[in-house]
Chain A
Amino acid sequence: MPTVARDLLELLDLEELDVDLFRGRQADTDRQRVYGGQVAAQALIAAGRTVDQGYAAHSLHSYFLLPGDTAVPIIYDVERIRDGRSFATRRVVARQHGRPIYYLTASFQKAEDGFDHQDVMPDVPAPEDGVDMIGLMRAGGAPDADALAREWAALEARHLGTSRRGLPEDPEHPSRARMWVRISDRLPDDPVVHLAAFTYASDMSLLGASLAAHDTNPAKVQMASLDHTLWFHRPFRADEWWLYDQASPSAGGARGLSLARVFTRDGRLVASAAQEGLIRPRRD
């Protein structure tokens, strides 16, 4: 995992092997399986490299197929599905050991104006009043706090609470979790970098929201992202605080669905996220 923003930028800087074919490096990590946010961000960058500069990503839909191997690089193979006057579409296959581990489709649009509205940001405490997650774990004497701090050093996250603790009651939405997140170092101004860095961060906590309603020890749950979807509404900086307002409308059949809205501090809705994941109670 990147320990500073420079490492994150290196992770997002793909090597060009051929036209529409890229290679993404691995982070220095203790993890056995590649972090999904890394694959999604690298695949988005690969897709963007094959699109005219005038088009910006407005959505991505993706499925995780196999756990990624942290010991070898990942190949990103881009298929140009459409180049229209207003929209362009790309499909990316992420491969390791000759097998697809991840499929992403992304859509790009030339900037235009139109109708404008958005949900209103909920009233929440400032990031400064949130709880630093690593600090919280360390204070609680968690044995793996140092390892987690190392893995997630590129991100700062301040927890605001879950449905079970810390958030105002809302019995109609039983599984919610809110946090402030930002990249811990200053990033360059390129908007593509901010989209990719946000994509990287967006996979970290989302599935956890589908467990917020359940009094369970996450270590006793087998968790894996099944899909990952982002809609980018308005440009924003990933290195300035954004509110990750996550809610899980449903869990059933060992799967949980989480939806999230992403607000900047000034209340702009900049993205929406969705993820379904496997949340399987471990039998032991």
Chain B
Amino acid sequence: MPASADELLALLDLEDLDVNLFRGRQPETSLQRVFGGQVAAQALLAAARTTDPAYVVHSLHSYFLLPGDTAVPIIYDVERLRDGRSFGTRRVVARQHGRPIYYLTANFQKAEEGFEHQDVMPEVIPPEEGLDLGAMFRSRGGGSTEEWEREWAALDVRYVGNSRQGLPEDPAHPARARLWIRVNGEMGDDPLQHLAAFTYASDMTLLGSTLVPHGVNISSPGMQVASLDHTVWFHRSFRADEWWLYDQESPSASGGRGLAVARVFTQDGTLGATVAQEGLIRHRD
């Protein structure tokens, strides 16, 4: 997996095969399955490549269908659903071995102004006081430490706390987890690259919040965890290489599934995005 901002940008640089058809490369990785955030980010960029740059993405909705194969590239096939005066819509099919592994639909809008409001950022410790996630894995011991450093070095992650430890009590919301995240290194100023890099990072920790009340985590023995869908609403532009608070909450788990919803705040309190993901959270005894 990319180990720096530059490697992440290289991963997100798609090859143009034909009109509306792209190929995304694979990183060196020991992961068995393609990381969902990579597919989402590459698919978003494929959609954006077919859209007039005056239109900016404001939402994406997607479903994961099959595990991606890390040994071969991914084909992104873009369907132009609509080009309107204010909005444009694209659907992207990600394919490997002739089979769809992921579907994404994204909506783009020409900039305009209107009503403004946003939720207020919760009071949290600054990123500098958060626990470095790599260090946390080290303190836990086990094989996941090296994997963490090899696979996720492109991201800087500081743990703030969860409902069981570190966050103020809120019994009405039993499954919360907060982290500060940024891309590890300077990224340049193209806003689309920041949206894509954020999309990449947004899939990493979200499902973990659905497990908070249950005393297990994604890498606990017997856990089978897989993203089912992934949704991002982009509210205001922000830099993925500067700290953003990932304020994650899981309103519900049932039937082997958990839903997580997250708000993304920059350090100055701007609400940059909202994210939602449902995932399979299965425990095999």
Contact = CB atoms under 8 A, between A and B. Distances in A.
Given A91-B103, A119-B172, A229-B231, A272 B89 contact: no
B251 A105 contact: no
Interface in B43-70: 58-59, 61-63, 65-66
The 9 A-B residue pairs with the shortest CB-CB distance, nearest first, are A254-B114, A114-B256, A61-B61, A172-B120, A120-B172, A213-B117, A112-B256, A250-B235, A233-B252
Contacts of B261: 259, 272
B272 to A, nearest CB: 9
A87 to B, nearest CB: 7
B27 interface: no
B61 A229 contact: yes
B185 interface: no
Contacts of A122: 172
A150 interface: no
Given A61-B229, A65-B89, A276-B233, A281 B82 contact: no
Given A63-B105, A82-B65, A172-B122, A118 B251 contact: yes
A204 to B, nearest CB: 20
A73 interface: no
A254 B112 CA distance: 6
Interface in B70-100: 81-82, 86-87, 89, 91, 100
How many interface residues does chain A have, given as a range?
A: 35 or more
Given A81-B103, A172-B119, A255 B228 contact: no
User: Is chain A's interface secondary structure helix, strand, loop, or mixed overall?
Assistant: strand
Given A115-B281, A274-B231, A279-B114, A233 B274 contact: no
B38 interface: no
Interface of B: 58-59, 61-63, 65-66, 81-82, 86-87, 89, 91, 100, 103, 105, 107, 109, 111-120, 122, 171-175, 210-211, 213-214, 228-229, 231, 233, 235-236, 250-259, 261, 263, 271, 274, 276, 278, 280-283
Contacts of B171: 120
A109 B226 CA distance: 14
A63 B89 contact: yes
A82 B86 CA distance: 33
Contacts, number: 198
User: Is chain B's interface secondary structure helix, strand, loop, or mixed overall?
Assistant: strand
A35 B213 CA distance: 39
B81 A103 contact: yes
Given A122-B172, A172-B122, A231-B278, A253 B113 contact: yes
A179 interface: no
Contacts of A251: 114-118
13 contacts: A58-B257, A59-B229, A59-B278, A61-B231, A114-B281, A115-B258, A249-B119, A256-B115, A261-B251, A269-B251, A272-B259, A280-B112, A281-B114
Given A171-B120, A226-B87, A233-B259, A116 B254 contact: yes
Contacts of A63: 61, 81, 89, 105, 107
A276 B66 CA distance: 28
A18 B112 CA distance: 43
A261 B86 CA distance: 30
A129 to B, nearest CB: 21
A118 B172 CA distance: 9
A227 interface: yes
Nearest to A228: B61
B233 A58 contact: no
A253 B58 contact: yes
Q: Which of A226, A252, A274 has the most CB of B within 10 A?
A: A252
B81 to A, nearest CB: 6
Given A226-B87, A227-B59, A269-B251, A115 B211 contact: yes
B281 A250 contact: no
Contacts of B117: 174-175, 213-214, 248, 250-251
